[in-house]
Amino acid sequence: MLQIKNLHASIGDRDILKGINLDVKPGEVHAIMGPNGSGKSTLANVIAGREDYTITKGSIHMEGKDIMEMDPELRALQGLFLSFQYPIEIPGVTVSNFVKTALNELRKGRGESAMDASVMLKKMKASLALLEMDKGFLSRPLNEGFSGGEKKRNEIFQMAMLEPRLAILDETDSGLDIDALRIVANGVNALRGSNRSFVVITHYQRLLDHIVPDHVHVLYDGKIVKSGDKSLAMELEAKGYDWIKKAQS
Amino acid sequence: MMDRLSAHYWLNEKTYAAASSDAVIARRREALERFEAMGFPTKRDEEWKYTSIKGLLKPAYKLVSPFASEYSDEQVEFKDIKQYMVNDIDCYKVVFINGCYSSWLSETTHQGFDVCTVGSAWKKYPEIVDAHFAKLSSQGGALSQLNTALAWDGLYVRVPKGVIVDKPIQVLYFTTGSQPTFISTRSLIILESGAHAEVIERHQSITKEGIWVNAVDEVFMDDNSSLHWVKLQHDRDSASLTQHSIIEQGRDSRATFHTISTDGKLIRNNLDFRLTGTGAEANMYGLTLANGKQLIDHHTRVDHLAAHCLSRENYKGIYDGKSHGVFNGKIMVHQDAQKTQAFQNNDSLLLSDKARIDTKPQLEIFADDVACSHGCTVGQLDEEALFYMRSRGIEEETARAMLMVGFASDAIEGIQHPSLRAKLSRLIGLKLGLNMEFSV
């Protein structure tokens, strides 16, 4: 599904990613953990195609296709989805209008016709129900005045609507109380399947109690320094990141 | 040009005199004298610092004789102008062609209230028109004075006490001809206490020749009256409009103006509110979408003259190409206007390096117990937001257009008729390159 080889990326003259290797197979959930400033969000943004970063070395393939030269919208068309750590507020564009436009742009890109309005509405209702969201959400301006929890639920709502093949969840648990965390995790779990993969980026282990990963990687100073199964997450929770830092220095 | 305009007045004074009282002629003469003394505004004039009308003064304009329609109805066919009308809302229609009333295209009324023309009101209700004519505009600048001297026709609305005009009044000022033409239009609106009316106004050229319309509106609103006014400024790029609308508001009255300026060569709007009765409310919303070499200038002024009044102002602008925008919003809170609430906001997006906005909020407060705020922002499209939208699969161009439509949307939110709002959002979407239905 996703293959990253020896990925180096920098912003300005600062190197942030220093040789990342990652192989995500269909249906797998990979968790990427690490202390602040280790490059987690950079990795998410580089995969999604943010232009602020320069890729100096390495490759990113999705289902065998090199996506590094692709615009963000083309990557989305390949089936990529990034749930933002800080979803952007867009005044004057309602949630329903935004999702409708995105979904139909993706359909257009795949050579399909626009989705029938009644089918769209049904799908929206089902996705709202999944995230325990109220119908009133649809007519609110995108993320404007949303609480932290509402913003994150709205990200997963969009994911449910757009049905990506590969979803990257960037700190989706940050700013969530325990109830919101459960709702978001339930939403993600409902979307798990043999043909959909997840990369879950998180600082803390608590999200991984709800979204149980197949693999856990520790990112430190731009490199994956340790990989393991879900027990690694628990070890990190118990011991913190210091022992990783010490082992590296 | 000034000499020609003055000569035009003297040449036609007899015609003006035949239509109105000596008092009105005296006002016209005074106005002409003021105009001659002031001269056309230049950039040295503080109020015209950013807007030059030099280009407007160049053409050898044809001047239209008062009360003399030169365009018979056959010369302007309905099919040519239908597209400029709001057709899906049942409206009263008052249509002018080169400043002269076109009865064939209009639908006026005198049943319960008057929706007709200043020209005909002068015949039917001379005392009323005489009593109001130039009462508010006498303090205006050179162009208002010029209009007072020369104008003879435009929308006339008078609504008696407690009467609600049952449908919107659409006023259309068409201009045409085979040579550059200068037109003066003038409207008079009188709402007695508790009356309500809605106006949809449009100036539209149907010729490629240079057109300059210099307009004045005088609006008298008595206690508890309310007025909605939508100005649609989507004219050809050969047509220019200078307009001064003055609204005097009595106690607890409420006026709401939307000015949507998307096309035209040079547009200068002066929108002045005088809140003379306690509890009066004035709302102004503006949306400017400019490109090419357009110049769109909004000068607004609110005089808070009584206590407990409220004014709200929100103007949005998107400027591309070499376009130039001007926003000057003046709020004067006079000594007696305690408990005034005045809010003003102006946000602009500049899409190109050559586009320019001069924005100047002005707040002068002489009362001590008031709540006032003003703010302005000038920026570019939010790159973060663009990336967010693109990461969801939305093409860059569509994402840009959506962001702009979103930015613009609150300027038209308050327009009452859903179909007019929908029409405007389609038009805005189209202008911004969003080729899809976009609801606000």
Contact (CB<8Å) B405/A162: no
Mutation target for B interface from A80, A101, A146, A170: give the one with most B CBs within 10 A: A101
Instruction: Decide which of B346, B366, B381 is a domain's last residue.
Output: B381
Q: Do B401 and B289 reside in the same domain of the chain?
A: no
Chain B CB within 8 Å of residue A115 CB? no
Chain B CB within 8 Å of residue A158 CB? yes
The pair of structure tokens assigned to B361 is 């909020």
Separation in Å, CA of A105 to nearest CA in chain B? 6
Q: Tell me if ipTM is over 0.90.
A: yes
pLDDT band with cut points at 50, 70 and 90 for residue B70: low
Chain B CB within 8 Å of residue A240 CB? no
> For residue A237, is pLDDT > 60?
yes
| Residue A94: closest C-alpha in chain B | B440
pLDDT band with cut points at 50, 70 and 90 for residue B440: very low
> For residue B439, is pLDDT > 50?
no
Q: Do B341 and B433 reside in the same domain of the chain?
A: no
pLDDT band with cut points at 50, 70 and 90 for residue B437: very low
Asked if B54 and B212 count as a contact pair (C-beta separation under 8 A), the reply is: no
Contact (CB<8Å) A105/B407: no
pLDDT of B77 reads 79
Q: Do B395 and B298 reside in the same domain of the chain?
A: no
Q: Do B59 and B139 reside in the same domain of the chain?
A: yes
Average pLDDT, chain A: 93
Q: How many contacts (CB atoms, under 8 Å) link A and B? A: 82
Contact (CB<8Å) A92/B393: no
Q: Do B286 and B376 reside in the same domain of the chain?
A: yes
List pLDDT tens digits, range B379-403.
Answer: 999 999 999 999 999 999 899 988 9
Q: At what angle do helices B396-408 and B418-431 cross, to 10 degrees?
A: 140
List pLDDT tens digits, range B300-334.
Answer: 999 999 999 999 999 999 999 999 999 999 999 99
Cβ–Cβ contacts within 10 Å for residue B275, how many? 32
Instruction: Decide which of B381, B397, B429 is a domain's last residue.
Output: B381
Q: Do B350 and B219 reside in the same domain of the chain?
A: yes
Chain B CB within 8 Å of residue A109 CB? yes
Name which of B384, B392, B439 is nearest A158 (Cβ-Cβ). Answer: B392
Cβ–Cβ contacts within 10 Å for residue B349, how many? 22
Q: Do B153 and B130 reside in the same domain of the chain?
A: yes
Chain B CB within 8 Å of residue A50 CB? yes
Asked if B101 and B153 count as a contact pair (C-beta separation under 8 A), the reply is: yes
Number of domains present in the structure of chain B: 2
Q: Length of chain B, please?
A: 440
Name which of B392, B402, B436 is nearest A76 (Cβ-Cβ). Answer: B392
Contact (CB<8Å) A72/B390: yes
Separation in Å, CA of B400 to nearest CA in chain A? 12
Q: Label each residue of chain B as H, E or C.
A: CHHHHHHHHHHHHHHHHHHCCHHHHHHHHHHHHHHHHHCCCCCCCHHHCCCCCHHHHCCCCEECCCCCCCCCHHHCCHHHHHHHCCCCCCCEEEEEECCEECHHHCECECCCCEEEEHHHHHHHCHHHHHHHCCCCHHHCCHHHHHHHHHCCCCEEEEECCCCECCCCEEEEEEECCCCCEEEEEEEEEEECCCCEEEEEEEEEECCCCCEEEEEEEEEEECCCCEEEEEEEEECCCCEEEEEEEEEEECCCCEEEEEEEEEECCEEEEEEEEEECCCCCEEEEEEEEEECCCCEEEEEEEEEECCCCCEEEEEEEEEECCCCEEEEEEEEEECCCCCCEEEEEEEEEEECCCCCEEEEEEEEEECCCCEEEEEEEEEECCCHHHHHHHHHCCCCHHHHHHHHHHHHHHHHCCCCCCHHHHHHHHHHHHHHCCCCCCCCC
> For residue B294, is pLDDT > 90?
yes
What are chain A's domains?
2-248 (3.40.50.300)
The pair of structure tokens assigned to A178 is 């325990």
For residue A151, the surrounding DSSP H or E stretch is: helix A148-162
Q: Do B355 and B391 reside in the same domain of the chain?
A: no
Q: Do B309 and B391 reside in the same domain of the chain?
A: no
Please name which of B143, B146, B361, B154 lies closest in space to residue B269, comparing C-alpha atoms: B143
Q: Which residues of B fall within a CB distance of 8 Å from A94?
A: 439
List pLDDT tens digits, range B126-168.
Answer: 999 999 999 999 999 999 999 999 999 999 999 999 999 999 9
Name which of A51, A89, A101 is nearest B398 (Cβ-Cβ). Answer: A101
Whole-number percent of chain B with pLDDT over 70: 97
The pair of structure tokens assigned to B360 is 């100047």
Contact (CB<8Å) A90/B406: yes
| Residue A92: closest C-alpha in chain B | B406
Contact (CB<8Å) A49/B438: no
Asked whether the whole model's pTM tops 0.90, one would answer no
List pLDDT tens digits, range A90-146.
Answer: 988 999 999 999 999 999 999 999 999 999 999 999 999 999 999 999 999 999 999
What does residue B256 show for φ and ψ, rounded to 5 degrees? -130, 120
Separation in Å, CA of B436 to nearest CA in chain A? 10
Contact (CB<8Å) B438/A97: yes
Average pLDDT, chain B: 93
Q: Do B343 and B434 reside in the same domain of the chain?
A: no
Q: Do B238 and B128 reside in the same domain of the chain?
A: yes
Q: Do B266 and B407 reside in the same domain of the chain?
A: no
CA-CA-CA-CA dihedral for B203, B206, B212, B213, to nearest 10: -30
Mutation target for A interface from B316, B388, B397, B405: give the one with most A CBs within 10 A: B388
Pairwise CA distance, residues A8 & B202, whole Å: 59
Range of the domain at B435: 382-440
Instruction: Decide which of B359, B381, B403 is a domain's last residue.
Output: B381
Mutation target for B interface from A105, A159, A169: give the one with most B CBs within 10 A: A105
pLDDT of B299 reads 98
Separation in Å, CA of A102 to nearest CA in chain B? 5
Name which of A81, A90, A94 is nearest B403 (Cβ-Cβ). Answer: A90
SS3 of A170, please? strand
Contact (CB<8Å) A90/B389: yes
pLDDT of A246 reads 82
Q: Which residues of A fall within a CB distance of 8 Å from B389?
A: 90, 98, 102
Chain B CB within 8 Å of residue A105 CB? yes
SS3 of A100, please? helix
Q: Which residues pair with B228 in a beta bridge?
A: B198, B256
Q: Which residues contact B199 (CB under 8 A, 6 or more apart)?
A: B155, B157, B168, B169, B170, B171, B189, B227, B228, B229, B230
The residue that leads in pLDDT, B185 or B431, is: B185
